[in-house]
Amino acid sequence: MRIVLLGAPGSGKGTQAQRLVERHGIPQVSTGDLLRAAAAKGTPLGLQAKEAMAAGRLVEDEIVLGMIRERLAEPDTAGGFILDGFPRNLAQAHALDGLLRQIGQPLDAVVQMAVDYAELSRRIAGRRTCLDCGRVVNLLTCAPGAAQTELCPKTGRPHRLFQRPDDNEATVAERLRVYEAQTRPLVDYYREQGLLHSIDAEGDIEAVAKRLDAALAGPAA
């Protein structure tokens, strides 16, 4: 199963990707995680990415694609992968298609996670990230007290939660504007390829997970 999760910021891509990892045993390939890990390790691509991020520039697509190529060459991706955070625009989608053709791992499905923008704003404001393991939890949707008591797999202690700077309400409107202009056109792009599945991503996390499983088991839109 080789899939892309497509949706606006706060649509639940990361949460559902984690559940797919648990259920199907295939890795989540997050470009954000790849960039941070490569920069920390000081790999050649990581050093280029670190330089761009330090200068406030977007990391070039060629660097991101190089990291994805390296990640997909690892043994745990043999049974599939979940791409989260890439592609973000049509140019990246074309480049990704070319890369996946070269390595013989074309996509099986692209899932659009549809959520009303007002709900997205509310979700993003409640999102918190663990400083140690990177797990994302939402104070508005998780069980009361669960975020504070759940143990971090890296430390064995409660998660140390923080709000990312780009998760505050002041930045939400701009992030959604960028998504609408740059990423939403991918819906039609993947529909034309016969890969698109669209689900209602609002409501209980488990209910959304069931819709996602049903979509992946059925025909594309």
Whether 154 is catalytic is no
**Alpha carbons 73 and 56: distance in angstroms, whole number:** 29
Q: List residues bridging with 200 in a β-sheet.
A: 114
Chain-centroid distance of CA 32 in Å reads 8
Sign of CA dihedral 133, 139, 140, 146: positive
Whether 57 is catalytic is no
Query: How many CB atoms sit inside 10 A of residue 65's CB?
Result: 19
Whether 13 is catalytic is yes
Q: Which helix (H) or strand (E) holds 39?
A: helix 31-41
List the catalytic residue out of 41, 160, 164, 210: 164
List the catalytic residue out of 123, 127, 128, 135: 127
- CA neighbours within 13 Å on the CB side: how many for 159? 20
List the catalytic residue out of 36, 122, 175, 184: 175
List the catalytic residue out of 2, 50, 71, 88: 88
Show which residues are catalytic: 13, 88, 127, 164, 175
